[in-house]
Amino acid sequence: MIQTFQLMKQVLTHPFNFYNDIQEPKKIRWIDAIIVIVLAFLAKMISIVVTGYAFQTREAYEVSYMQELVWLVVPWLTWSIANWGVSAILDGEGKFKEVFVGSAFALVPYVIMIVPVTLLTNLLALDENSIYSFLVNVAIYWSAWLLLIKVKVLHDFEPWKVIWITILSIIGIAIIWFIGILLFGLMNQLINFLTELWQELNFRR
């Protein structure tokens, strides 16, 4: 746990060193990534709860914990898989574990910033919205920046190739989602078919 926090501190202060260091053997554990993602989820939920009334865009009943979790975990997982896969084909050096943990740690700025920034909404009026949205954007762009550094350092790419790989990874994510939804639909049909078949057979017994 403490180790994870130390890593979090490092990714904020020295991102290049951080992504260099995690390539050393035994430096990172799978659990580090899980801890960061859990923290990100908690930060997101807390920020939804502490949003000031004027800034709320959803009623309490419109917020689903499950949905928020899915929208956090699924993009992260698919990004890890797509980015790892694409870079593995195009001479990237990163291992899947490094990509997996490195992507999770890119969310650290968001984890750190979002709760204090959202607490601000309790002190701000709607016409001061720009302050709030600026700070939220800082958190998001910082995270995106870390993600790019991650791609660069872990796979040891040139800057232009980083952008190219990032675009390819996003396309990869789209393909994974498409196939996922397709498979989900087909499986649904198959399971429906099998249950109906079973029911039909039962009727004729």
- Contact residues for other proteins (CB under 8 A)? 2-3, 6, 10, 14, 17, 21, 24, 27, 53-54, 56, 59, 123, 125-127
Q: Work out how close the CB of 117 gets to other proteins at its nearest, in angstroms, rounded to a whole number.
A: 16
Give the nearer residue to other proteins in terms of CB position, either 52 or 85: 52
d(CA 54, CA 35): 32
Closest CA to 76 of 3, 143, 141: 143
Give the nearer residue to other proteins in terms of CB position, either 56 or 64: 56
Cβ count near 51 (within 10 Å): 17
Give the nearer residue to other proteins in terms of CB position, either 19 or 79: 19
Q: Work out how close the CB of 11 gets to other proteins at its nearest, in angstroms, rounded to a whole number.
A: 11
Q: Work out how close the CB of 126 gets to other proteins at its nearest, in angstroms, rounded to a whole number.
A: 4
Give the nearer residue to other proteins in terms of CB position, either 117 or 173: 117
